[in-house]
């Protein structure tokens, strides 16, 4: 272990890999100092762990109905968090539901920031009419409330998980484009970009190799802070019946189903609500911590 640490902290790394790992190690040390960020990281890792091992962790099947055991309160032997109106174990449904949540989150992470980054950096780098056109498109998307736009898209595409993800991704890229453009504008006139231009590099190489690495940290921070919003939008669509379809155990859908018994059997809606709350909080804390570690303004000093 100690040899590994000396290897990581070697001021003269022998390879690209070692130097990159060494830098990551320093970032990790900085992140570790922030207790709240570590709580956020633990929650996010727990979500991934639970999603992977849901079949092992869950005591019951999340879909099989058992009407004789419907609406049992939390603490009932065999159903720690109680059962819903079809007698399904709420704990198992929440555990399986983490898979859907994670799936949605992952798909959105893989699409919206990428689109936003490309549009933002291209607009910022070229400026002029390219910037005007791309940013007005961005403004149009920003002008609609997120959920309303997502609703409209799902209404056109039809309900379902993939369409919900698509709708969320299409509504969440504009902020990333804005962030990336702002960052690009500060980077664009720097000497190191002038130097690489002078070496004869074309715009694609400059944007991809030199501008995007500088925008990435702020976008990553923004993504982790937005994760909570994505989960909530997905849950919102589920709640309105436009996202994931029953009987799949999606958290928003579960809240929607529990709404009917909110006053008599509060746990049906509250338990998945708590799950959404904890996971959103986790991503937010992690995002705050990452801001301190990755922010180029603080890291460059």
Partner 1 sequence: MLIEIENLSVTFTAHGRQVRAVENVSLNVKAQESFGLVGESGSGKSTILRAICGLAPISGGSIRINGKPITHNRAFSRQVQMVFQDPYASLHPRHTLDRTLSEPLAIHGLPLTDAAITKALTDVGLPPNFRFRYPHQLSGGQRQRVAIARALMLQPEILLLDEPTSALDASVQAETLNLLSRLRAERGLTFLMVSHDLAVIDHMCDRILVMQHGRAVEELTRDALATAQMKTEYARSLFAASADRMLEG
Partner 2 sequence: MSLLSVKNLRVTFDTEAGRVEAVRGVSFDLGRERLGIVGESGSGKTMTGRSVLRLIRPPGKIEADEMTFDGIDLMRASETEMRSLRGPRIAMVMQDPKYSLNPVMKVGAQLTEGLRQRDKLSKPAAYAKAIDALNAVQIRDPARVMEAYPHELSGGMGQRVMIAMMLIPNPDLLIADEPTSALDVTVQAEVLSILDNLVKTRGMGLIFISHDLRLVARFCDRVLVMYKGKVVEELAAKDLMHAKHPYTQGLLNCLPRIGGTRQPLPSLDRDASWAL
Q: Do the Cβ atoms of 27 and 221 come closer than 8 Å?
A: no
Q: Residue 128 and residue 41: Cα distance in Å, rounded?
A: 41
200 binds partner 1, rule: CB under 8 A? yes
Beta bridge partners of 79: 76
Nearest to 214 by CA among 124, 137, 129: 124
**Contact positions toward partner 2, by CB under 8 A?**
9, 26, 29-30, 33
- Residue 76 phi, psi dihedral angles, 5° rounding: -65, 135
- Smaller CB distance to partner 1: residue 68 or 189? 189
- Smaller CB distance to partner 1: residue 16 or 136? 16
Q: Could you tell me the smallest distance in angstroms from the CB atom of residue 175 to partner 1?
A: 23
x/- string (CB under 8 A) for partner 1, residues 19-58? Answer: x---x-----------------------------------
Q: Report CA-CA distances (Å) from 170 to 144, 253, 274.
A: 12, 21, 27
199 binds, among partner 2, partner 1, none (CB under 5 to 8 A by kind): partner 1
- Please pick, from the candidates 1, 3, 6, 16, the single residue that binds partner 1 as defined by CB under 8 A: 16
Q: Residue 202 and residue 178: Cα distance in Å, rounded?
A: 23
- Please pick, from the candidates 136, 199, 204, 263, the single residue that binds partner 1 as defined by CB under 8 A: 199
Q: Residue 124 and residue 189: Cα distance in Å, rounded?
A: 11
- Smaller CB distance to partner 2: residue 137 or 299? 299
Beta bridge partners of 260: none
67 binds, among partner 2, partner 1, none (CB under 5 to 8 A by kind): none
Q: Residue 85 and residue 291: Cα distance in Å, rounded?
A: 43
Q: Work out whether the CA dihedral 207, 209, 213, 214 comes out positive or negative.
A: negative
190 binds partner 1, rule: CB under 8 A? yes
- Smaller CB distance to partner 2: residue 29 or 155? 29
191 binds partner 1, rule: CB under 8 A? yes
Kindly compute the dihedral angle of the four CA atoms of residues 55, 57, 61, 62, in this order, to the nearest 10 degrees: -100
195 binds partner 1, rule: CB under 8 A? yes
Q: Residue 271 and residue 90: Cα distance in Å, rounded?
A: 8
204 binds, among partner 2, partner 1, none (CB under 5 to 8 A by kind): none
11 binds partner 1, rule: CB under 8 A? yes
6 binds partner 1, rule: CB under 8 A? no
Interface with partner 1 by CB under 8 A: which residues? 11-16, 18-19, 23, 190-192, 194-201, 205, 209-210, 213-214, 296, 299-300
């Amino acid at each position: 272990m100690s040899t590994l640490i000396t290897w990581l902290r070697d001021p003269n790394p022998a390879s690209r890999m070692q130097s990159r790992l060494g830098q990551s190690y320093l970032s990790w040390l900085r992140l570790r100092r922030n207790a709240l960020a570590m709580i956020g990281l633990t929650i996010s890792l727990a979500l991934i762990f639970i999603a992977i091992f849901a079949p092992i962790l869950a005591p019951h099947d999340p879909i099989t109905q058992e009407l004789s055991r419907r609406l049992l309160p939390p603490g009932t032997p065999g159903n720690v968090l109680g059962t819903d109106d079809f007698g399904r174990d709420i704990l198992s449904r929440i555990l399986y539901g983490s898979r859907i949540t994670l799936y949605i989150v992952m798909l959105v992470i893989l699409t919206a920031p990428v689109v936003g980054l490309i549009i933002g950096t291209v607009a910022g780098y070229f400026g002029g009419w390219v910037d005007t056109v791309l940013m007005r498109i961005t403004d149009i998307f920003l002008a609609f409330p997120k959920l309303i736009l997502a609703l409209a898209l799902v209404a056109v595409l039809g309900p379902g998980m993939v369409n919900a993800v698509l709708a969320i991704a299409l509504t969440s890229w504009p902020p990333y484009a804005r962030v990336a453009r702002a960052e690009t504008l500060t980077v664009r006139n720097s000497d190191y970009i002038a130097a690489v231009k002078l070496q004869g590099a074309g715009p694609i190489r400059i944007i991809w190799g030199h501008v995007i690495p500088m925008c990435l940290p702020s976008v990553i921070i923004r993504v982790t802070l937005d994760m909570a919003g994505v989960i909530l939008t997905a849950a919102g669509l589920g709640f309105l019946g436009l996202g994931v379809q029953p009987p799949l155990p999606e958290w928003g859908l579960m809240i929607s189903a529990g709404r009917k018994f909110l006053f008599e059997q509060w746990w049906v809606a509250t338990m998945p609500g708590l799950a959404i709350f904890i996971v959103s909080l986790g991503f937010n804390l992690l995002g705050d911590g990452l801001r301190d570690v990755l922010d180029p303004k603080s890291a460059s000093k």
